[in-house]
Structure 1
Amino acid sequence: MTSANPAYVLTLNCANRPGIVAAVATALFEAGGNIQEAQQFDDTATHRFFMRVVFDVAADIAIEALQQAVTPVAQRFGMGWTLRPKGAKRRVMLLVSKFDHCLADLLYRWRIGELPMELAGIVSNHPLETYAHLDFTGVPFHHLPVTRATKMEQETEIWRLFQESGSDLMVLARYMQVLSDGLAAKLPGRCINIHHSFLPGFKGARPYHQAHARGVKLIGATAHFVTADLDEGPIIEQDVERISHADTAEDLIRKGRDIERRVLARAISFYLEDRIILNGNKTVVFTG
């Protein structure tokens, strides 16, 4: 095998039992695979096993042959699994509101190649001129204003755009609207939100003001998958920063913007690299 050979990422999870690793390795070897990286986790609380494998194959081996090799093992162990070309870019749709620091950061990381994705579009409940200082060249922009009376119609349009653009992932990059239960239910494991607080504390609106009122010494941000339960979806990534009694609520907001940017970018990167596997209301994240 050489570095020019195509590489694939296999992720799997199933009830834990002896022989899983050996069976997977044997199946890949017999299909012509050469394992480059393997990570695994046995959740003793749920008795479930999780694994991420990166391997390459000769250029003439099709993905269908690899799928046929893995399928009998998956059936034998009752696995949930995915197999994707390592270099395949996912299509990502960004939802934003007035606060644009996460949007600006994601656009920058995308343009320099740090986030290997295809931007399917930007959806905002604010007009294009709100972001006049940002470069949207090559990225479709959709202004979808929303009121309480028009929420269902607006979300219907969001879902239409998501499907017609072939998007794989929806990112709420400080989108200050709560998704309806109906839309959230259509996106299990495919919608990431950045919450400007270290969940599960300080949920909902104005978390930095809540934190300031409580005199906290650490503030943070949380990236999680969206579910029908507000701010309670499976957590993907978090980070914190120390603050002091001298910091105002405005200082916390300013410092929080930096945390939000890096936490959201890391969570998206983990998703793009197939490093996240759902584990009930939690996640297993193979960070390398």
Structure 2
Amino acid sequence: MTQPERRYVITFGCPDRTGIVARIAQFLADAGGWIVEAAYHTDPDTSWFFTRQEVLASSLPYGVEELRARFAEIAVELGGEGKVADTGEPRRIVLLVSKEGHCVYDLLGRVASGELEVEVSAVIGNHNDLAAVTEGHGIPFHHVPFPREDKQAAFAEVRSLVARHDPHAIVLAKFMQILPTELCREWTGRALNIHHSFLPSFVGAKPYHQAYQRGVKLVGATCHYVTAELDAGPIVEQDVIRVGHGDSIRDMVRKGRDIEKVVLARGLRWHLENRVLVHGNKTVVF
């Protein structure tokens, strides 16, 4: 399979006004930049402008660090903030897991098949259940027990393990532990969670049991960024699957796991491709 040509990805947001698109396009054109993908959006409620643009790296006379420095000046001029990513830089993720393995099996399979181009630097589990499959893929597995009487020490160890790899994303693949506020803050914009519910409905534990009691006809999953407020971070992706009156809780869990895997994989891919722009508690996904 032919690899796509290396690109620089510019994401940017600022207060909306006339001439933003023209200014960015002129900046790139002056350097000979060849834009191969561009998207724009303005939030009518906040009048905040968003854009994501991909430029062929080979079309510019300088590298990514100089592009970052030059674009920083444009960002200041326009009164906004942005970043420049390089598709030539390998992406790294760390998975946090517990006992449930469906999301881990799915992600590791996608990575192994080349469908998801990312390095899984490590898997950290509060149980040993997923050690064998992780190590079978040649990935280090770290077991960090979470005793009820001393979770603070366990989280400190997880924090240290994650910091070793400096990942682009920390994926809570059914981790089943609530991150402390300081970790939520440190991992802002990098920690992704998959919740087995179509948030904001059925927040917290046993959402399928809650849904069963309500007699719902659809169950869903939500991939969102982790914040200090439980299950309330900016939403990256959601999807649903139909259930019927004859489905048991077990059936609903099985169907829900199917949709969880897809939603998490989509959300992670978009995050790694710098397609998700966060503004307040909302996202724009280009």
TM range (shorter): over 0.9
The residue aligned with 1:158 is 158
SS at match of 1:24: helix
How far apart are the structure 2 equivalents of 1:52 and 1:4? 18
Gaps of 5+ in 2: none
How far apart are the structure 2 equivalents of 1:18 and 1:226? 34
Aligned length: 283
User: Structure 1 residues 213-222 or 70-79, which shifts more?
Assistant: 70-79
How far apart are the structure 2 equivalents of 1:135 and 1:57? 36
> Are residue 119 (structure 1) and residue 113 (structure 2) matched?
no
How far apart are the structure 2 equivalents of 1:233 and 1:12? 21
Deviation of the 1:89 alpha carbon: 2.4
How far apart are the structure 2 equivalents of 1:32 and 1:241? 47
Deviation of the 1:134 alpha carbon: 5.6
Deviation of the 1:182 alpha carbon: 1.7
**1:83 partner letter:** V
User: Structure 1 residues 252-261 or 71-80, which shifts more?
Assistant: 71-80
CA contact (8 A) 1:74 1:81 kept: yes
Deviation of the 1:4 alpha carbon: 8.0
SS at match of 1:32: coil
Correspondences of 1:19-38 after superposition (within 5 Å)? 19-38=19-38
RMSD (Å), alpha carbons: 1.6
Deviation of the 1:69 alpha carbon: 3.0
Deviation of the 1:84 alpha carbon: 1.2
The residue aligned with 1:62 is 63
How far apart are the structure 2 equivalents of 1:170 and 1:134? 16
Deviation of the 1:73 alpha carbon: 1.3
**1:279 partner letter:** H
Which stretches of structure 1, 4 residues or longer, exceed 4 Å deviation after superposition?
A: none
Deviation of the 1:132 alpha carbon: 3.4
User: Structure 1 residues 138-147 or 255-264, which shifts more?
Assistant: 138-147
How far apart are the structure 2 equivalents of 1:6 and 1:130? 35
Correspondences of 1:132-281 after superposition (within 5 Å)? 132=132, 136-281=136-281
User: Structure 1 residues 45-54 or 181-190, which shifts more?
Assistant: 181-190
The residue aligned with 1:105 is 106
Deviation of the 1:131 alpha carbon: 4.6
CA contact (8 A) 1:15 1:49 kept: yes
Gaps of 5+ in 1: none
Deviation of the 1:5 alpha carbon: 5.8
> Are residue 88 (structure 1) and residue 89 (structure 2) matched?
yes
TM-score w.r.t. length of structure 2:
0.95
How far apart are the structure 1 equivalents of 2:252 and 2:73? 53
Identity of aligned residues (%): 45
Deviation of the 1:61 alpha carbon: 2.3
Q: Deviations over 1:241-276 (max 9, x none)?
A: 111110011100000010000000000000111000
SS at match of 2:58: coil
**1:40 partner letter:** Y
TM-score w.r.t. length of structure 1:
0.94
CA contact (8 A) 1:116 1:272 kept: no
